[in-house]
Structure 1
Amino acid sequence: MGGVSRRDSLMDNFRVALEECGLKDLGFVGSPFTWSNRRAPPNLIEERLDRCVGNMEWREIFRDVTVTHLPFWRSDHIPILLNIAEIGGRQWEGKRPFHYQRSWVEKEGCLESIQAAWKASNGCNIMTRMVNNLGSCARQLQQWNKDNRRRLNENILLKKKELFCLSGTSGLVVWNRCRVVERELDNLLNDEETLWRQHSRVGWMKKGDPNT
């Protein structure tokens, strides 16, 4: 879409190679374009340059295949997802130990969770109350952290879905909205990366590595 039309002769060698190897286009779901110059309309150019192909033997083995064009994001080429099997998520067994993370105190709701837990516990003496308070705080913070992670994952998914819905459409308003959503998604993914770095550090510390 847009730009100067490319001569069919430039693609002849590519078509011949596909035919000689018996490779067929696997189709796709999503935006029809896989490449964009990422310029604002009316200078926007989009084309389908990338695709998934397979020969007869491969398609006999993998009959139920889905190719999805994911949204443009920080690149002139889109990511393409080839789904050939369902992979079940790993289920963790046992109770995970509690690890407090310093960055939590900067997040909204952390101090409120601690204060609520500290007030709720009781005991016959000071030491009993202290132990109960610490246990209550740990449970509250674990639940608060779990809720935060869930909201973060939901927000990331929503932004990716919005980019997916916007892909394949044109216009300056849509282009500007895509840039806004990309920035919002960047911030969310930075938060997610921070969580994974902290999780990685905890893992190394458990194995005795100071991770310095």
Structure 2
Amino acid sequence: MERFREVLQDCKLCDLGYIGGKYTWANNRSDQNFTKERLDRAIANSKWCATFGGGEVRILSSSTSDHCPILVSLSQQQSNPFKYAQVRRYEDRWSSFSDCEQVIKKAWNQGRGQVTGLQRIKEKLQTCMTDLRKWSYRKEMEERGSLIQKSNRLQHLQQTLTAEFVQQLKQT
């Protein structure tokens, strides 16, 4: 490790540190040979740090590897010059939810004024799309909350990982 630090110093590079769990690798053994280390790092030179303010390094959890990924977020986010218009279409994955049909039926059956013909169908389609988007957003937030809870649990297990917990982590 001392030689690694010397190389960083000779090349005028610095370790950006980390936020979150400390360890980025575990050998996943369940005996006395169990080991975990901080092997993976984010490093940068002074010009990069001056440009991006050092950034923020997070050690994430991994469900498929013995190495945890590292996410480097830049302090100065470049604004995206390519803005896309909101897409208005039915998402096929919505039909996998049992309550999607009820959202459509309720929106379709809402009475709106005395409009008839194609104008009425247009209004019903707009109402359906609006209600589906709101419903979809709520569903996405529910899924994201569940995913965040599971991800936090996985990260906690990986960071507190001991030989006894290797089997429990593999089952999670």
- TM-score by structure 2 length? 0.72
> 1:69, 1:78 within 8 Å by CA — same for their partners in 2?
yes
**Higher RCO by CA contacts (8 Å cutoff, separation 6 or greater):** 2
Q: Identity across aligned pairs (percent)?
A: 27
Structure 1: where are the runs of 5+ without partners?
A: 1-10, 182-212
1:146-185 paired onto structure 2 within 5 Å? 146-171=137-162, 174-181=165-172
Instruction: Identify the residue that residue 20 of structure 1 maps to in structure 2.
Output: 10
Distance across 2 between alignment mates of 1:178 and 1:132: 51
- Alpha-carbon distance, 1:170 to partner: 2.5
> 1:65, 1:83 within 8 Å by CA — same for their partners in 2?
yes
> 2:16, 2:54 within 8 Å by CA — same for their partners in 1?
no
1:82 corresponds to 2:75: no
- Alpha-carbon distance, 1:110 to partner: 0.5
Distance across 2 between alignment mates of 1:145 and 1:77: 34
1:13-60 CA distances to partner (integer Å, 9 max, x unpaired)? 534423322333332222222211233455532122222234455545
Aligned match for 1:39, one of 29, 32, 54: 29
- Alpha-carbon distance, 1:103 to partner: 3.7
Distance across 2 between alignment mates of 1:31 and 1:18: 23
After superposition, the Cα gap between the structure-2 partners of 1:134 and 1:38, relative to the gap in structure 1 and judged at 3 Å, is: same
1:61-100 paired onto structure 2 within 5 Å? 61-87=51-77, 96=86, 98-100=88-90
> 1:166, 1:178 within 8 Å by CA — same for their partners in 2?
yes
**Count of equivalent residues:** 171
If each structure's helix is expressed as a fraction of its own residues, which one has the higher value?
Answer: 1
Aligned match for 1:142, one of 127, 133, 146: 133
Aligned match for 2:108, one of 118, 137, 147: 118
> 2:29, 2:163 within 8 Å by CA — same for their partners in 1?
no
- TM-score by structure 1 length? 0.61
